[in-house]
Structure 1
Amino acid sequence: VGDAYTTDQKTIAGYTFKEVQGSATGTFTDQAQTVTYIYMKNNIPVNPISPQSSSNSTSRMNNTATSNSLPRTGEKQGITVLMFILGISLIGVSLILAFFKNVKNN
């Protein structure tokens, strides 16, 4: 409490500084000091795809599709399906055994 503070506006690629909320400089008190810097995302102009760059657009589309996919976790799909089938089979066998035990007791 009582020490001076100073905050700085940062340069962020693709964003433009809009405003600062709170005091960028001041003295610490027993209350919380909050300083918020607000940035606006820059508009990226959309360039029409020309026929000359069709091979480049294909590679860009492939990169986009790859970046929008989920990360690979190393889980094998076949093992998951096998465990699911095994679990369903065990439940089915348990139900059949319970049914025959119930019929035998009656």
Structure 2
Amino acid sequence: MTKEARKAIGTRGSWFAKVGNEDLPCIHKHWLSGMSYHEPYCEISENKWSEYVDALRLGKAILTTDNVVGEGPQFQRSGYVAVFRVANVALSGRDLTFDLVERLEDLR
């Protein structure tokens, strides 16, 4: 019997969502190219960004689909795709990069 996909639960304005008992950072499909992620607007001096990057360095993230709703750009989450193992989290100026190295589970 196939294991049923779990549901991610997020809240409006949060950069995290809960899957089971884990609170995981959400990453935008918009910034993904193949299995490489590049977010060009990171402001590590802001607490929200610092917390987010620290969570990514723990090695897991939720890939989300989103609608672009503003400049910068700003996103409105439209769905959850899967939980991925991430590695090679790096910052260079405002550029946040990392690799998706393993798809751990699909989400519904």
TM bin (shorter chain): under 0.3
**Normalized per residue, which structure has more helix?**
1
TM-score using structure 2 length = 0.18
TM-score using structure 1 length = 0.18
Of structures 1 and 2, the one with the larger relative CO (CA 8 A, separation 6+) is 2
**Normalized per residue, which structure has more strand?**
2
